[in-house]
Amino acid sequence: MKAVRNLKTVTGGEKPAGKRIAQTAVFGIVTNAALFVLKLMIGFMSGSVAITADSVNNLSDCGSGAVMLIGQKLADNPADAEHPFGHGRIEYISGLVIAFLVLLLGYEFAKQSFLKIINPAASEVSALGIVLLTCAVAVKVWQCFVYRKTGKAVNSPVLTAGAVDSRNDAIITSFTILSAVVAQTAGIIIDGYAGMVISAFLLYSGVQLVKDTLRPIIGAPADSRLAARIEKTVELHSGILATHDLIIHNYGPRKSFATIHIEIPDTDNLQKAHTLADAIEKKVYEETGVVLTVHTDPVNLADERILRIVPAVVRVLESYPGKDRLSAHDFRIIDGNESSKCFFDVVVPHKYPKESLKLLTGEIKKAVNEIEPEVICCVNIENGYIGSKE
């Protein structure tokens, strides 16, 4: 039962994630359709280009809701021979489509606003119209809250994109109300200028959405919180000396595969190591829903040379800037007929300066040579695959 409860948490609560996303999408379609009709009527009666464009924006939001529904339906399709890891990444593509719709709307809004600046015309928005537009802002804020809350609960990028879009709409309508009030109270027509500000905001938000939705498609680093949960679950098992090289592959917001290396005493037999790896894989899936593959690295605890080399290397790493991001692992010594070699990996941040790498490697080899002059130090520099905890 515990495994079932934990998997419900991963997928977003008692209801399946797909069903919650679909229900939220229907909510968005219905409310946006109502706002479209309302604003279109106010826009025609007042002659305001900003209000009319805002109504078309809500119509496009109905399309965004349809994209959510269709994308979720496709993403929920089970794995098949052509897609053995499932179809979860379609949800990222759905978010990207919504991002492009925001960019298109920003472009069209900019064109209409520019024409309004060139040919300004007074618009008359009644007090009732302003009240109704204020109510529309409240609805959009409500939408944003629902999208954001559900999106966070089920880890849905398409709902996160919808939340940003709803927030933008609330700001757009607020600017529209402001321009109408200024025109009627001060006699200054700022309808077109307000539209240009709104369009600039839409274009900026669209670009940010494109970047955010492309990251997991291209290959974003694994979430540090999920990585910490996996590492903690793994390290709770007895017999593990250390863990390293955790790599998480994402095949959708709620479907991940991972690999990890665990260090165990080389005195453990193969059967024991295999049983331990199986237990870890099962426990991690129960706790996180991640399909994990465990690789075992044997460590010779009886080799005193290793016990002297490890602290020396750690001291060198701690003396460098960014020491909290430098680490070493997988120490082993291979004795040959003519020499003995110590192999280990050092993890450094991406884009670590080449000059610093040369200096770091030199300092490590010098420290090892001072302690074990007969051992040749072989350092392998690598980068991590986990996102920053900051």
**For the segment 144-192, what is each residue's pLDDT rounded down to a tens digit?**
999 999 888 887 877 887 888 888 888 877 877 887 787 777 767 777 7
Cβ atoms of residues 279 and 294 within 8 Å: no
Could you tell me the two tokens for 124? 């008359």
At 326, the pLDDT band (50, 70, 90 cuts) reads confident
Q: Are 195 and 50 in contact (CB under 8 A)?
A: yes
Of 29-38, 152-161, 285-294, 309-318, the poorest mean pLDDT is in 152-161
Q: Three-class SS of residue 302? A: coil
pLDDT for position 336: 86
In the block, residue with structure tokens 């996303």: 21
Asked whether 274 and 239 are in contact (CB, 8 A), the reply is: no
Q: Hey, is 349 helix, strand or coil?
A: coil
pLDDT band, very low/low/confident/very high, at 230 (cuts 50, 70, 90): very high
Which pair of tokens denotes residue 8? 């419900």
Mean pLDDT of 300-308: 88
Which of the pair, 243 or 68, is modelled with greater confidence? 243
Distance between alpha carbon 166 and the CA centroid of its chain, in Å? 19
- H helical segments located in 119-186: 127-154, 157-186
pLDDT at site 271: 92
Query: For strand 327-335 and strand 291-299, is the pairing parallel, antiparallel, or unpaired?
Result: unpaired
Q: Kindly report, residue by residue over 43-90, the tens digit of the pLDDT.
A: 777 766 667 767 777 777 787 778 777 777 777 788 888 888 888 888
Angstrom distance (rounded) from CA 106 to CA 145: 23
pLDDT attached to residue 365: 93
User: In this predicted structure, which of 139-148, 200-209, 327-336, 369-378 has the lowest mean pLDDT?
Assistant: 200-209
Half-sphere exposure of 292 (CA within 13 A, CB side): 31
Q: Reply yes or no on whether the pLDDT at 268 is more than 80.
A: yes
**Residue 251 has what DSSP assignment?**
S
Average pLDDT, the chain: 82
What pLDDT sits at residue 272? 92
Q: How many CB atoms lie within 10 A of CB 366?
A: 12
- On whether the CB atoms of residues 299 and 241 are closer than 8 A, the answer is yes
Most confident of 95-104, 175-184, 293-302: 293-302
pTM above 0.85, yes or no: no
pLDDT value of residue 24: 87
Question: For a pLDDT cut of 70, what percent of the chain falls above it?
Answer: 90
Q: Give the pLDDT score at 3.
A: 39
Q: Which of 352, 234, 353 is nearest to 284 (CA)?
A: 234
Pairing of β 242-250 and β 375-383:
unpaired
Does 14 score more than 60 pLDDT? Answer: no
